[in-house]
């Protein structure tokens, strides 16, 4: 990591009251959860349209369920990394800290973040497609076959699949939070999946200061006020340290 925080950034940081982190798969990469795109991206090995959509689930529920079992196992074994932990730490130093995440792994929650808008759902939850009853992962023994609800309906993970709409209320709240932020950190996302990617774009149009943290350039880089290239698990703790021990 080779970043420097200039005085203008440091001033903006310490004067901020309301901070929002918009995160994507890259923030969990250092926890051992593969990202979707990029060199190690999971979409290179699996075709998303074959797995992450409702029709695929109806056609072949066991196959889709098995793929989610595989992902649940990875997520279960993963732990929040220094990036998730530093974000939770930010709560001690600012009036309001919110997380808007595209991730379904619940690592922000496990790290202790309190306000979390999950745009794409949460892999720890499931629901029946017929009667909409909710089930946590502890509710049943996981076999490779898709479990059935008491009503006989298929149980699916509570995540947003291709072609499905985002939970509108959560999206609207997240969008408002981002537009009121003094600083919006955009961390570990390729920022190409819409409508989620509207959130930083719209915030930028409202004059919010955008700070990107990523190992590479993205579609958002040219809109960002600051870009810090490095691993989230190194850059965010470094910025937090500037909050705790300002060196001016």
Residue 144's alpha-carbon distances to 25, 62, 134, 135, 238, in angstroms, are 25, 7, 19, 17, 42
Considering 84, 93, 108, 120, which one is annotated as catalytic?
120
Structure tokens at 134: 């909710």
Active site residue 120: yes
Q: How far is the CB of 199 from ligand OAD (least distance, A)?
A: 12
Q: Which of residues 119-138 bind Zn ion (CB under 5 A)?
A: 128, 130-131, 133
What is d(CA 13, CA 243) in angstroms, rounded to the nearest whole number? Answer: 7
The one of ligand OAD, Zn ion, none whose footprint includes residue 149, by CB under 5 to 8 A per kind, is Zn ion
- Site track 29-68 with ligand OAD (rule: CB under 6 A), x = hit: xx----xxxx--x----------x----------------
Q: State yes or no: residue 106 binds ligand OAD (CB under 6 A).
A: no
Q: Chain-centre distance of CA 98, in angstroms? A: 12
The one of Zn ion, ligand OAD, none whose footprint includes residue 35, by CB under 5 to 8 A per kind, is ligand OAD
Q: State yes or no: residue 122 binds ligand OAD (CB under 6 A).
A: no
- For Zn ion, the closer CB: 128 or 178: 128
Q: How far is the CB of 15 from ligand OAD (least distance, A)?
A: 26
The one of ligand OAD, Zn ion, none whose footprint includes residue 153, by CB under 5 to 8 A per kind, is Zn ion
Q: Which of residues 154-183 bind ligand OAD (CB under 6 A)?
A: 160
The one of ligand OAD, Zn ion, none whose footprint includes residue 128, by CB under 5 to 8 A per kind, is Zn ion
Q: State yes or no: residue 116 binds ligand OAD (CB under 6 A).
A: no
The one of ligand OAD, Zn ion, none whose footprint includes residue 158, by CB under 5 to 8 A per kind, is none
Q: Evaluate whether 57 touches 154 at the Cβ level (below 8 Å).
A: yes
Q: State yes or no: residue 149 binds Zn ion (CB under 5 A).
A: yes
Q: State yes or no: residue 147 binds Zn ion (CB under 5 A).
A: no
- For ligand OAD, the closer CB: 108 or 120: 120
Q: Which of residues 66-85 bind ligand OAD (CB under 6 A)?
A: none
The residues of the shown chain that bind Zn ion, judged by CB under 5 A, are 128, 130-131, 133, 149, 151, 153
């Amino acid at each position: 990591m080779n970043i420097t925080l200039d005085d203008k950034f440091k001033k903006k940081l310490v004067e901020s009251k309301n901070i929002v982190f918009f995160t994507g798969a890259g923030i969990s990469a250092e926890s051992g959860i593969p990202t979707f795109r990029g060199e190690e991206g999971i979409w290179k090995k699996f075709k998303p349209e074959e797995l992450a959509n409702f029709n695929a689930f109806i056609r072949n529920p066991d196959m889709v369920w098995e793929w989610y079992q595989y992902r649940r196992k990875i997520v279960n074994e993963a732990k929040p990394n220094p990036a998730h932990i530093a974000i939770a730490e930010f709560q001690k130093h600012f009036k309001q800290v919110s997380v808007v995440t595209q991730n379904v792994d619940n690592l922000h929650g496990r790290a202790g973040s309190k306000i979390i808008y999950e745009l794409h759902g949460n892999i720890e939850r499931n629901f029946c497609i017929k009667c909409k009853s909710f089930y946590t992962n502890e509710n049943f023994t996981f076999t490779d076959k898709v479990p059935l609800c008491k009503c006989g309906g298929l149980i699916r993970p509570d995540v947003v699949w291709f072609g499905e709409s985002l939970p509108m209320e959560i999206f609207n709240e997240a969008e408002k939070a981002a537009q009121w932020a003094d600083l919006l950190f955009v961390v570990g996302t390729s920022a190409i999946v819409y409508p989620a990617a509207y959130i930083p774009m719209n915030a930028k149009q409202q004059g919010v200061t955008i700070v990107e943290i990523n190992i590479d350039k993205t579609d958002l880089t040219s809109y960002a006020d600051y870009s810090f290239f490095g691993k989230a698990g190194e850059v965010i703790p470094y910025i937090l340290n500037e909050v705790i021990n300002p060196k001016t």
